[in-house]
Chains A and B, each alone.
Chain A
């Protein structure tokens, strides 16, 4: 896990060497002269070898010093303050929504396979899966924000001002992220259950006099949910990445906006920090999925 994170941070660091422009470019803007740029590079230590700079950053990072932002005259910690909480709350809420919508729905659909609800879902599912979150976001701001006035678009509330107001504002952004994902998970769970229904053990379970519902509940679900768990866990990583776009649409001051702006400003220390956080979430969720899978199906052993 540590090796993965190390590699990712190194790659992110090196990627900046490939794209044109450096922090000095942005800082000087139209006041650029080669001499000024050189002096500023010297001052900021950008003239040193890239590996030396990476090592400096790394040793600082592991000792808890994330460095100073080039662009804000603050430490990275100060810049990130409050932003992480917004993205974390948004992603977590979206993720919980995915689970809360898709698991019950997937089971229900499988139970009444071919029923009215099922037919509607199959027809609509492609549409829901295909809608990009930013478009849903714009649609939601229009319908729920401007027409129904359920929330104030752009009226983000800081958690320290009103915690419930903060969560309230996040509901629609979270839904915008969650709906396409929920559609996927529902479909996956439904077909996973269907796949299991043809197995021998299901016939045996039926022959013992179980109803379709109790077969699903008692026997099928445990097996059917395995691939879904892994997928759901990985969705969280996707959701964190997807929140970058949605934060723009809903004017949310989260990590995503900060990441985009910092890439634009070539503010490496901030970018590095956010990249490592996102990479950590992905790796960690993968790991968590393994643990949960093992818990559900004790036959699977982690090495």
Chain B
């Protein structure tokens, strides 16, 4: 009898000890340390390499590195280029020579002052002038980088490029350094540590040349599970998270919910290089059949900005709003075009939509599209869920797909960042778009020295994409940032970046 009681008692005590132990210490952990520390939830781990010149496949890496590295220039929240490591710059009349004057007193995180040598080294390395292979593709046009004097660097281009200044956001690193051995930049935060699949920690850089960061330390905590992210915000384990979708934001309405946009072009990208989408009538039929406003309502609760070409509104003058509804939703027209192309209800158009299953907004969009297409009675689309690596190797790199839903973003504030990939011989032209008109318009845009002329040429590119129904353009996804109520100062950029320097805890 006593033994029985003892056994039971022991079990109870053990469990209770564990439980109470949990209760007490967990409370201590909830009070996020000092008021100057901010914890941010991010949905995926950063890339393997934090080398700013090895252009990364993950926008999520770039948005964190934005806090650590800076270029001669940097983008601001309005989409303007503002001086950073450089104080000012001049362009010659033919737009093929750019002279940058360095700002005095800019320091690297290791305490050394930035010299022209560092700038020449960084640009030479990024443009691959010594290896012959540019690390940053946009810098391929650089023919030489030279120090004119102690505080001026002259960059010469092989062909005129009026947009070139925007590429000078490329990171400046110390002369002779390799980011694999140590991450040193000039940004408002310095790198502290990372633990794979766990976190990345950055700290305020006190010798920053500009406005110092408002918080002392930021921990980016990797929380892959969407539900866990919401719970962590509820519980206060993290202070903020970006890139949440409408349904997650709705669950967190008691916190600060900010709505911006993702700055990407979400579309049903079509493989123009092979049947059935090598036929423009079929592509146009899809554009008529898919009511993008309806898709946004169905898949994203109405949050998102409808798009009609490979350009989003944050690009200002480059964005042509009239293209958004170039194809008014019209099922009859779609049916007519499909009939013309040889399809019928008995012999419907069949194709697959490849989509990375981890990206919920894309999956939801795919489902909405399949439904809308079914209403024509002539289209049977099937969703092909894929793992990320499979999508890259088969769809994107292998170009073996019918249609796919993804979002294309811009790494720099230039129209080329979005439009270059549709030039017929571009290595990133994964949809196999092939139009002589487009190639000509794009070439004209890139070499134009006059801003208005260039803007018009890029808009012409967008029109060609729309008229040819290169893809079924849907939207720029809404981006929800949710913060605890005592966090202030987060600002959206027209690029995919997360600027932590203005974020602070109040009260």
**What is the interface of chain A, defined by CB distance below 8 A to chain B?**
19-22, 25-33, 37, 69-74, 79, 81-83, 93, 97, 100-101, 104, 108, 138, 141-142, 145-146, 149-157, 162, 164-165, 167-172, 213, 217, 248-251, 253, 257-258, 261, 264-266
When distances are taken between beta carbons in the complex, the residues of chain A under 8 Å from B228 are 141, 153-154, 248-251
Which of A21, A162, A257 is within 8 Å of B389, CB to CB?
Answer: A21
> Chain A residue with minimal CB distance to B223?
A251
Q: Sample 23 A-B pairs with CB under 8 A, ordered by A number.
A: A20-B393, A29-B57, A73-B49, A82-B198, A83-B198, A104-B11, A141-B231, A145-B231, A145-B235, A153-B231, A154-B221, A154-B237, A155-B236, A162-B28, A164-B25, A165-B28, A167-B22, A169-B29, A171-B21, A171-B22, A248-B228, A261-B197, A265-B389
B256 within 8 A of A: no
Determine if B57 and A31 form an interchain contact, defined as CB atoms under 8 angstroms apart: yes
Determine if A168 and B428 form an interchain contact, defined as CB atoms under 8 angstroms apart: no
Determine if B234 and A146 form an interchain contact, defined as CB atoms under 8 angstroms apart: yes
Closest 4 CB pairs of A and B: A29-B57, A154-B232, A168-B22, A154-B237
Give B205 Cβ to nearest chain A Cβ, in Å: 23
Q: Which of B12-20, B151-159, B459-467 contacts A (4 or more CB under 8 A)?
A: B12-20
Determine if B231 and A257 form an interchain contact, defined as CB atoms under 8 angstroms apart: no
When distances are taken between beta carbons in the complex, the residues of chain A under 8 Å from B1 are 213
Give B217 Cβ to nearest chain A Cβ, in Å: 15
Taking A164-B21, A248-B225, A251-B228 as contacts, is the C-beta distance between A19 and B390 under 8 angstroms?
A: yes
Q: Is the interface of B mostly helix, strand, loop or mixed?
A: helix
Determine if A22 and B197 form an interchain contact, defined as CB atoms under 8 angstroms apart: no
B30 within 8 A of A: yes
Which of A31, A83, A93, A169 is within 8 Å of B197, CB to CB?
Answer: A83
Taking A19-B390, A72-B196, A264-B388 as contacts, is the C-beta distance between A151 and B57 under 8 angstroms?
A: no
Among A100, A251, A266: residue with most chain B CB under 10 A? A251
Which of B26, B55, B389, B393 is within 8 Å of A31, CB to CB?
Answer: B55
| A150 to B286 Cα, complex, angstroms | 53
Residues 213-233 of B contacting A (Cβ, < 8 Å): 221-225, 227-229, 231-232
**What is the interface of chain B, defined by CB distance below 8 A to chain A?**
1, 3-4, 7-8, 11, 14-15, 18-19, 21-30, 41, 45, 47-49, 55-58, 137, 180, 195-199, 221-225, 227-229, 231-232, 234-238, 387-390, 392-394, 396-397, 427-428
| A187 to B428 Cα, complex, angstroms | 59
Give B110 Cβ to nearest chain A Cβ, in Å: 20
Give A166 Cβ to nearest chain B Cβ, in Å: 8
Which of A79, A145, A151, A156 is within 8 Å of B196, CB to CB?
Answer: A79
| A157 to B222 Cα, complex, angstroms | 14
When distances are taken between beta carbons in the complex, the residues of chain A under 8 Å from B21 are 164, 167-168, 171
When distances are taken between beta carbons in the complex, the residues of chain A under 8 Å from B393 are 20-22, 25
Determine if B26 and A152 form an interchain contact, defined as CB atoms under 8 angstroms apart: yes
> Chain B residue with minimal CB distance to A29?
B57
Which of B14, B30, B392 is within 8 Å of A25, CB to CB?
Answer: B392
Which of B23, B231, B392, B396 is within 8 Å of A146, CB to CB?
Answer: B231
Determine if B428 and A26 form an interchain contact, defined as CB atoms under 8 angstroms apart: no
> Chain A residue with minimal CB distance to B421?
A30
Determine if A154 and B223 form an interchain contact, defined as CB atoms under 8 angstroms apart: yes
Determine if B231 and A154 form an interchain contact, defined as CB atoms under 8 angstroms apart: yes
Determine if B29 and A155 form an interchain contact, defined as CB atoms under 8 angstroms apart: yes
Which of A25, A146, A150, A264 is within 8 Å of B26, CB to CB?
Answer: A150
| A138 to B8 Cα, complex, angstroms | 29
Determine if B29 and A71 form an interchain contact, defined as CB atoms under 8 angstroms apart: no
| A26 to B237 Cα, complex, angstroms | 31
| A49 to B429 Cα, complex, angstroms | 32
Taking A251-B232, A253-B198 as contacts, is the C-beta distance between A72 and B223 under 8 angstroms?
A: no
Taking A19-B390, A155-B29 as known contacts, 4 extra A-B pairs with beta carbons closer than 8 A to each other, sorted by chain A number, are A70-B48, A83-B196, A150-B26, A248-B228
Taking A100-B15, A101-B11 as contacts, is the C-beta distance between A248 and B224 under 8 angstroms?
A: yes
